[in-house]
Structure 1
Amino acid sequence: MPLRNNIIGCINFIAVLFSIPIIGAGIWLTTGTVNSCFMLLQWPVIILGILILLVGLAGLIGGFWRITWLLVVYLIAMLALIVLLGVLVGFIYMVTLRGSGRPQPSRAYLEYSLEDFSGFLRRRVHRSYKWERIRSCLSTTSICPDLNQRFTLAQDFFNAYLSPIQSGCCKPPTKCGYTFVNATYWISPISLHM
């Protein structure tokens, strides 16, 4: 029995050590030196790191000093963390399940539409304050500007395999009929007919 407690203590010592960089990463995200996309993750990362630290400390102390009630608390907390992570993965899967993209004629990339995703995700993105956060997040990255450097000709762009974010956020939907100028600048079909 003492060997088993020492093994539990050692495993949790490693968990405590791993929680320190997780908390550090969350604190680094709060400094504002990173773009706004990653700043959305600051509090979830800090909370996750603190939870791992607390659970690891409970297992470490309970394992080395053979405190039975603390080991029970550790096991319940570990089970709760595993269940919460499982629920989170399931939730993300269910929200994004239908958003697989559709092929378009004469295009190598897939076309993504918000209507393909769950109602929960559509309601979240349609809110104006949420969309402003997403837009400001994208404007601070090089996701869309990199397309301008990679593709100068329309046919090269149409034959490219784009990521879902590049296809859904950096260009207008194909069905709208915009004319390609560069990867992030398109001319409206309405302005062509005026």
Structure 2
Amino acid sequence: MVRFSNNIVGLLNILTFILSIPILIGGIWLSHRASSDCEKFLDTPMIALGVFLMLVSLAGLIGACCRVSWLLWIYLLVMFVLIVVLFCFTIFAFLVTNKGAGQALSGKGYKEYRLGDYSNWLQKRVNNTKNWRKIKSCLIDSNVCSSFSDEYKSDTVEQFYSEELSSLHSGCCKPSNDCNFTYVSPIVWNAQTGVVYTNPDCNAWANDPKVLCFNCGACKAGLLQSIKSDWKKVAVINIVFLVFLIIVYSVGCCAFRNNREDNYYGGYKGHY
């Protein structure tokens, strides 16, 4: 008779298998309709995750319910590796996001962001030309600054300065405060003639909607601030997920022990 722990492992893996189906279908759908680097970046991880969850859940389901010890052993090994990887990633996420914050500006509702304030590891990722070209393509394709322009297009300069902008909007869609450009609209600013700027972001700015400040250090810093906030949330979720995985792993170990006992006594009885 299949024991309680085997039933629990089987039920959990049925749920995991069902979850893997829409993830896999979503990845395949994205791969067929991807028209930008942003979309192409998402499809492969989704397909890989879907296939991984499907295979692991099948191994756990068959191993627990059909008492196939070697499959359950593989399942437990994969679970152990997953726990270790998730634990290391959580620690890593906290370490690389412990630096960096927006700088408050006098008379402004928004903050500005400096690339040098963030961890060296994150800076290297966005300073890589190939990486940033893909990221910039994603930002343009997702209409980050187009939606920003539509949202604040009716603002006067005083109203605009009082807005609490997101880190991406502040870094990528408007020039740095150091430039002292003249406000025309949220994404149109006139530079002063004959001025030598010490901040290289001022020279990188253009009123072209596909340029704006996407080549600025402030835009990279704004992205890192957004990533920092997201990773902090992910790290907290990971802790909860880790506890869940450890519980599942413990139940799986009980099911594995049950299989060995059943196989042992089944083989023992077979001699009589």
Distance 1:185 1:33 in 2: 31
Deviations, residues 7-42 of structure 1 (Å, cap 9, x unaligned): 211110110110111112222222244654343222
**Given the two structures, how large is their TM-score scaled by the length of structure 1?**
0.87
Count of residue pairs brought into register by the alignment: 193
**8 Å Cα contact 2:34/2:40 also seen in 1:** no
Aligned counterpart, 2:62: 61
**8 Å Cα contact 1:35/1:141 also seen in 2:** no
Which residue of 168, 176, 179 corresponds with 2:179?
A: 176
The one-letter code sitting in structure 2 at the alignment partner of 1:163 is S
Distance 1:89 1:50 in 2: 23
Q: CA deviation at 1:118?
A: 1.3
| CA separation of 1:32 and 1:165: change in aligned 2, threshold 3 A | farther
**8 Å Cα contact 1:144/1:166 also seen in 2:** yes
**8 Å Cα contact 1:13/1:56 also seen in 2:** yes
**8 Å Cα contact 1:58/1:74 also seen in 2:** yes
Deviations, residues 137-193 of structure 1 (Å, cap 9, x unaligned): 111122211121222322222111112211122122222322222212222234679
Which residue of 162, 165, 187 corresponds with 2:165?
A: 162
Partner secondary structure for residue 97 of structure 1: coil
Distance 1:5 1:122 in 2: 47
Deviations, residues 46-77 of structure 1 (Å, cap 9, x unaligned): 22222211111110000110122222221121
**8 Å Cα contact 1:26/1:41 also seen in 2:** yes
Aligned counterpart, 1:75: 76
Give structure 2 stretches of 5+ with no counterpart.
197-272
Which has the higher relative contact order, 1 or 2, with Cα contacts under 8 A spaced 6 or more apart?
2
Larger radius of gyration: 2
Task: Please provide the CA RMSD for this pair.
Answer: 2.2
The one-letter code sitting in structure 1 at the alignment partner of 2:183 is F
**Superposed, which structure 2 residues align to 1:123-162 within 5 Å?**
123-152=124-153, 153-162=156-165
- Which stretch shows the higher mean deviation, 175-184 or 34-43? 34-43
| CA separation of 1:37 and 1:159: change in aligned 2, threshold 3 A | farther
Give structure 1 stretches of 5+ with no counterpart.
none
Aligned counterpart, 1:37: 38
**Given the two structures, how large is their TM-score scaled by the length of structure 2?**
0.64
| CA separation of 1:19 and 1:136: change in aligned 2, threshold 3 A | same
**8 Å Cα contact 2:36/2:137 also seen in 1:** no
Distance 1:60 1:135 in 2: 43
